[in-house]
Chain A
Amino acid sequence: MLQRRRPSCRVILLLAGSLVWLTGCQRQARDERPVIGLAVPSLTHPFFIYLKDNVLDEARQLGVEVIAADAEDVAARQMAVVEDFIARDVAGVLMSPIGADALVPAVESLNAAGIPVATVDRQVNGGDVLVHVGADNVEGGRLAARYILEQLGGKGDIIQLEGTPGASPAIDRKGGFEEALGNSSARIVASQPADFQRAKGQTVMENLLQVHENFQAVYAANDEMMLGAIEAMEARKIDAARVVTVGYDAIPDAIRYVREGRLDATVEQYPGQQARTALRLLVEYIREKKRPAAPHVFIKPVVIDARNIDAAEQKR
């Protein structure tokens, strides 16, 4: 049998063997080129596509293989995805859980199977998670509020567009924003949900413009809603220079709007860096059994405006 193998195979076997020997690990198939399962809520949303692309790129540099699975925003389907990963005996799982409570059983199953799991962007409320890498949405909301206060000199009327009612980023981004406004002289004259959607942002803003003539700032919990609102304001011939506009997420379209002077600022949370960090920490643990220094790594959000536009991750 062995004699019939081609020489290239023998070289690969030799290399593989030496690698196994060098790393000194017992389970060779797993440890020389670990397979990581990536479970994200959806592979159709631009945000998660971007996250996945960054994970795949980082994986190439780290020499690991990543299999990505779509859960179509359904918690039960993500649970099934994780079960499939366990059946495939992956070396680790990187997950952005759809529900903080709903995916606890998934994490517990991974724990029982002895497969390390890291979460990125969204967290779970239980089980043993190696590390969570995410953004501080409350802090991002605070930064947006401070930016507006700074631009307006501490006072003015603000319109707020909220995200999907009940979603944790919607709650956190609103909470941080309102907390930082605190007892300044600025006040929120209207706060309405637009479900993180561009078309809805436009519609809701059009409606609010029927009631509110004089306002100095608009804050939206994501850029999609903000860009819809800008379309609504431009249609009503509202001078963009008169109103301070702040979005959230720093998506490519928003960066382009900032460059064109149609949007003042957006909050950047570096989703690419989040994804890369989480994968790196997970792989370090798999290879060297090194636990991360802290169970939570929060990437500090930054407000991007025309002055520091080069700090944006997705400049395009």
Chain B
Amino acid sequence: MFRISWKDMLQRYGIVLGFVIVVLTLSLLSPSFLTTRNLLNLTRQTSVHGIMAVGMTFVILTGGIDLSVGSLLALCGVVCASLEHAEWPLPAVLAGTLLLGAAAGWLNGLVITKGQVTPFVVTLGTMSVARGLAHIYTDGQPISSFGAPFRWIGSGEIQHVPVPVVLFLATVACAAFVLQHTVLGRYTYAIGSNEVATRLTGVAVDAYKATAYVVCGLTAAVGAVVLTSRLNAAESVAGTGYELDVIASVVIGGTSLSGGRGSVWGTLIGALLIGAINNGMNLLMIPSYYQLVVKGAIIVAAVLVDRLRAREAC
């Protein structure tokens, strides 16, 4: 009994061990790393990727993938910025942006389920479409400088905690609740474990699968609002390559790329791990060419620790 739960613990929390190792190493190397100020800074920087990674977790749990999130972030960002410039009231700006993100995600889901096309190909296409639309919408020019209420989302604080961090943690908590305690959550796991069996038990698989993409689009829109507000500018080139960091966060967090296994808590750790690496390299002033090597190596090492620990426990 004890043995089984011990093994289970390690399988579940092996990545936490990897995270702790990285954090310990960084705090030994740089005295500035483990300070309240830097930890708040680190989580604030991680929040955009992290929020998007939460939505990506839903998609990957169903056994799918969404490559369009980075481009969608750019499209939602420039639309959000232009709505703000058009002096829409703040709730309307946010609602409009979130609606756009959700609609784009729904479109992804619709083509994937009804058209029965592989998610990889569909979202590869929408990745290009969304980026193109963002360029067309702005003619390639940045949209910058916003009013104080909008800027509060990215740069404000609640009880000394940055608003993006609050949004990030709230998103994780909401997603954890949905995945663990609702029908939607259970079916999301079921579809990823065995889609055919789930369909045969009479579950409306298509609807639940499409919902995962809606959630992913929605989180991309939330990420867009936070990034645009934080940067005080929206650009059609924003979010280039974000899909890779976002997917990496989910996978490092222990969610299986074949679906059915994983959690948003793992994703939270995965996102923080990548954030810590980027932050630590700046603090340690590692020269530019070495950063690429170090980052990749640490990601692979972190996942290896996870897998090796899990195997040892057998």
Contacts and interface: CB of A to CB of B under 8 A. Distances in A.
Are A and B associated in one complex?
yes
B132 to A, nearest CB: 8
Nearest to A196: B237
A272 interface: no
Contacts of A235: 155
A208 B282 contact: yes
Given A45-B140, A190-B285, A231-B232, A207 B238 contact: no
Contact of A253 (B144, B279, B287, B291): B144
Nearest to B48: A199
Contacts of A166: 289
Closest 10 A/B residue pairs (Cβ): A207-B282, A193-B288, A165-B288, A44-B135, A210-B38, A210-B32, A211-B32, A49-B140, A46-B140, A203-B45
B231 A231 contact: yes
B282 A192 contact: yes
Nearest to B238: A199
11 contacts: A46-B142, A165-B292, A166-B289, A197-B237, A198-B142, A199-B231, A199-B238, A207-B282, A208-B283, A210-B41, A210-B283
Contacts of B285: 190-192
A259 to B, nearest CB: 13
A162 B290 CA distance: 14
A212 B169 CA distance: 29
Contacts of A228: 231
A192 B290 CA distance: 11
B233 A227 contact: yes
Interface of A: 44-46, 49, 162, 165-166, 190-193, 197-199, 202-204, 206-208, 210-211, 227-228, 231, 235, 252-253
Nearest to B31: A211
Given A207-B45, A211-B30, A211-B283, 18 more contacts: A44-B135, A165-B292, A166-B289, A191-B285, A191-B287, A193-B288, A193-B291, A198-B235, A203-B278, A207-B279, A208-B282, A210-B279, A210-B283, A228-B231, A231-B231, A235-B155, A253-B142, A253-B144
A224 to B, nearest CB: 8
Interface string B202-228: 000000000000000000000000010
B26 to A, nearest CB: 12
Nearest to B282: A207
B231 A198 contact: yes
A263 to B, nearest CB: 13
Contacts of A199: 227, 231, 238
B37 interface: yes
Nearest to A190: B285
Contact of A204 (B155, B227, B282): B282
B47 to A, nearest CB: 11
Interface in B129-181: 135, 139-142, 144, 155
Nearest to A44: B135
Contacts of A202: 230-231
Contacts of B237: 44-45, 197
A206 B45 contact: yes
Interface string B288-312: 1101100000000000000000000
Of the listed residues A162, A198, A204, A208, the one surrounded by the most CB atoms of chain B closer than 10 A to its CB is A198
A199 B141 CA distance: 15
B5 interface: no
Given A45-B237, A191-B285, A198-B235, A210 B35 contact: yes
Contacts of A210: 32, 35, 37-38, 41, 279, 283
B251 to A, nearest CB: 22
A259 B238 CA distance: 25
A190 to B, nearest CB: 6
B236 interface: yes
Contacts of A162: 288
Nearest to A192: B282
Most chain A Cβ neighbours within 10 Å, of B41, B282, B292:
B282
Contacts of B288: 162, 165, 192-193
Contacts of A253: 142, 144, 233
Interface in B29-80: 30, 32, 35, 37-38, 41, 44-45
A165 B236 CA distance: 22
A228 B44 CA distance: 15
A304 to B, nearest CB: 19
Contacts of A165: 288-289, 291-292
Interface in B267-285: 278-279, 282-283, 285
Nearest to A163: B288
B229 to A, nearest CB: 11
Contact of A49 (B139, B238, B292): B139
Contacts of B278: 203, 207
A42 B41 CA distance: 34
Nearest to B35: A210
Nearest to A235: B155
A160 B290 CA distance: 17
A46 B141 contact: yes
A245 to B, nearest CB: 16
A199 B70 CA distance: 13
